[in-house]
Amino acid sequence: MSKGKVPFLDLITVHRELEQELLVVFKSAIETAGFIGGPLVQRFEREFADFCESRFCVGMANGTDALRLALIAAGVKAGDTVVTVPLTFFATTEAISQAGAHIDFVDVDERTYTMDPEKLRAYLETECTRDSRSNRVVSKRTGGPVTAVIPVHLYGQMADMDPILDLATRFDLVVIEDACQAHGAEYFSAREGRWRKAGSMGRAAAFSFYPGKNLGACGEAGAVTTDDEGLARRCQMLRDHGQSAKYLHDIEGYNARLDAIQAGVLSVKLPHLAKWNEQRRERARSYDEFFAATEQPVTVPHIPSWSRPVYHLYVVRAPERDRLLNDLAAAGVGTGIHYPVPLHLTKAYEALRFRPGDFPAAEQTASQAVSLPMFPGLSHEQQRRVVAEVLHSIAAAEPAARISSCSSGLR
Ligand SMILES: Cc1ncc(COP(=O)(O)O)c(C=O)c1O
């Protein structure tokens, strides 16, 4: 077996291939001194709204700002409660707290790792009460009215949106999609009878263009997408110190503007995104087939019939994770863990008094997930090598140490 290293992610090759086009962006920004706002930002916003099949896109400084400002623009207020999943990147809950709201969690589905609609229903029906005056549901734990829900399209796979949207209608909740890992992912909406893009289903959605994302900037960037013109307008004001026009501050806002050079970079890369996503899907199919063809009991990724994921990450589960990680590192195979600590047990939230066992599916995934190399230029030879090293490690492990795989996401 060749002993060349297999990186977890290759961010060099793609930028070398697009170097000339990217340099034109930098040059035009330098020549016009158009660094903030302006035509590069407006152009990308139009293009990305079209890509997401959404009416509006508002560029933001990063995905965290996009999520926080989408919540505020959607009307989430101090003292409200916003419910999400514990298996996500920390930014999801930072955005909730920093919008002034309380965090509540519901567990993920143990196979898709995205919000389990049944658990959301159980939470709303049994862990909340109806306030007779406002008719709103109130969280028994936080005491605050539950006003919004954030399904996270984790690892590039959308959450099961139809039942989540039905519950949101029934309980009067705003749905904000965390689409930071899901540029181009699709969901078949049975109630609409058609495929829907990530970012087009909730009241608004937040995207991150952190460099390692399926669509990544050469620095920090993010965006909100929405069909709601008023919400888009509020996001535009919130990202720019609450200004409705220069130095006219109608509300207090933030500095969360999308840098023009990053917008130009994203416009260069966006036309390639569908092809890159397809290449990721093809790599995921290869991993599935390689694992399926072996004697080892490796479970292939669970992709429900309603999902067309974009494989931001490809995650396998290993009961003896440390051993697998060490073996792969020794063999020169890059890996990641997304995420090692479910957020209800993270140190920052000690005061919320959640306990181990509160969200078992998220806890088990967090203790077993291993993200394997996944990027559009990953070669079949490299994939064969990754699979061989994984199998070699589990074959040498105790019989109890079995591995299961699922398609997953990255930060
Ligand atoms: C699920 C999720 N939410 C939010 C974010 C925050 O995005 P950013 O890093 O651009 O602020 C990320 C990015 O890593 C993410 O993966």
Q: pLDDT (tens digit, 9 = 90+) per residue, 323-375?
A: 999 999 999 999 999 999 999 999 999 999 999 999 999 999 999 999 999 99
C-alpha to C-alpha distance for 58 and 74, rounded to whole angstroms: 14
Q: Are 87 and 362 in contact (CB under 8 A)?
A: yes
Instruction: Measure 86 CA to ligand 1 centroid, in angstroms.
Output: 14
Q: Are 236 and 223 in contact (CB under 8 A)?
A: no
Look at residue 404 in the predicted model and tell me its pLDDT.
58
Confidence of residue 411 (pLDDT cuts 50, 70, 90): very low
Q: Indicate if the pLDDT at residue 405 is higher than 70.
A: no
Ligand 1 within 6 A of CB of 92: yes
- Show Cβ contacts of residue 370 under 8 Å, excluding neighbours closer than 6 positions: 315, 316, 317, 318, 321, 324, 325, 328, 335, 336, 337
- Nearest alpha-carbon partner for 306 in 170, 201, 178: 201
Ligand 1 within 6 A of CB of 178: yes
Q: Is the dihedral of CA 194, 196, 202, 204 positive or negative?
A: negative
Ligand 1 within 6 A of CB of 180: yes
Q: Tell me phi and psi for residue 324, to 5 degrees.
A: -60, -45
Of residues 400 and 313, more confidence is placed in 313
Strand-pair category, 174-178 with 128-130: unpaired
Determine which of 53-67, 130-144, 285-299 has the lowest per-residue pLDDT on average: 285-299
Confidence of residue 388 (pLDDT cuts 50, 70, 90): very high
Q: Indicate if the pLDDT at residue 408 is higher than 50.
A: no
Mean residue pLDDT across the chain? 94
Question: Which atom of ligand 1 has the smallest separation from the CA of 181?
Answer: 16
Q: Are 291 and 302 in contact (CB under 8 A)?
A: no
Question: What is this structure's pTM?
Answer: 0.96
Q: Indicate if the pLDDT at residue 294 is higher than 70.
A: yes
Ligand 1 within 6 A of CB of 179: no
Ligand 1 within 6 A of CB of 152: yes
Q: Torsion-angle region of residue 326: left (phi > 0), alpha (psi -120 to 50) or beta?
A: alpha
Which helix (H) or strand (E) segment is 103 a member of? strand 102-105
Q: Indicate if the pLDDT at residue 402 is higher than 60.
A: no
Confidence of residue 406 (pLDDT cuts 50, 70, 90): very low
Q: Which stretches of 6-157 are DSSP H helices?
A: 13-17, 19-32, 39-51, 63-73, 91-98, 117-126
Q: Are 26 and 259 in contact (CB under 8 A)?
A: no
Ligand 1 within 6 A of CB of 256: no
Determine the angle formed by the axes of helices 63-73 and 229-238, rounding to 10 degrees: 120
Segment 377-387 mean pLDDT: 96
Look at residue 264 in the predicted model and tell me its pLDDT.
98
Q: What are the Cα distances from residue 18, in Å, to 11, 22, 42, 262?
A: 12, 6, 22, 14
Q: Cα-Cα-Cα-Cα dihedral of 375, 376, 377, 383, to 10°?
A: 60
Q: What percent of the chain lies above the pLDDT cut of 90?
A: 90
Residue of the CA atom closest to atom 10 of ligand 1: 63
Confidence of residue 300 (pLDDT cuts 50, 70, 90): low
Q: Is the dihedral of CA 59, 62, 65, 70 positive or negative?
A: positive
Tokens at 329, concatenated = 């590192």
Look at residue 295 in the predicted model and tell me its pLDDT.
73
Q: Which of 9, 62, 64, 315 maximizes ligand 1 atoms within 8 Å of its Cβ, making it the mutation to test the pocket?
A: 64
Question: Which atom of ligand 1 has the smallest separation from the CA of 210?
Answer: 10
Look at residue 407 in the predicted model and tell me its pLDDT.
44
pLDDT in tens, 186-234: 999 999 999 999 999 999 999 999 999 999 999 999 999 999 999 999 9
pLDDT in tens, 20-33: 999 999 999 999 99
Ligand 1 within 6 A of CB of 210: yes
Look at residue 4 in the predicted model and tell me its pLDDT.
80
Segment 148-175 mean pLDDT: 98
Ligand 1 within 6 A of CB of 222: yes
Look at residue 250 in the predicted model and tell me its pLDDT.
97
Confidence of residue 301 (pLDDT cuts 50, 70, 90): confident
Ligand 1 within 6 A of CB of 365: no
Look at residue 114 in the predicted model and tell me its pLDDT.
98
Look at residue 394 in the predicted model and tell me its pLDDT.
86
Instruction: Measure 341 CA to ligand 1 centroid, in angstroms.
Output: 16
Look at residue 318 in the predicted model and tell me its pLDDT.
85
Instruction: Measure 401 CA to ligand 1 centroid, in angstroms.
Output: 32
Q: Indicate if the pLDDT at residue 409 is higher than 60.
A: no
Instruction: Measure 217 CA to ligand 1 centroid, in angstroms.
Output: 13
C-alpha to C-alpha distance for 30 and 23, rounded to whole angstroms: 10
Helices and strands: H and E segment counts in the chain: 12, 17
Question: Which atom of ligand 1 has the smallest separation from the CA of 221?
Answer: 10
Look at residue 399 in the predicted model and tell me its pLDDT.
61
Q: What percent of the chain lies above the pLDDT cut of 70?
A: 95
Q: Are 357 and 101 in contact (CB under 8 A)?
A: no
Segment 99-128 mean pLDDT: 98
Q: Indicate if the pLDDT at residue 266 is higher than 70.
A: yes
**326-347 burial: b if 16+ Cβ within 10 Å, else e:** ebbeebebbbbebbebbbbbbe
Secondary structure of residue 244 in the 3-state scheme: strand
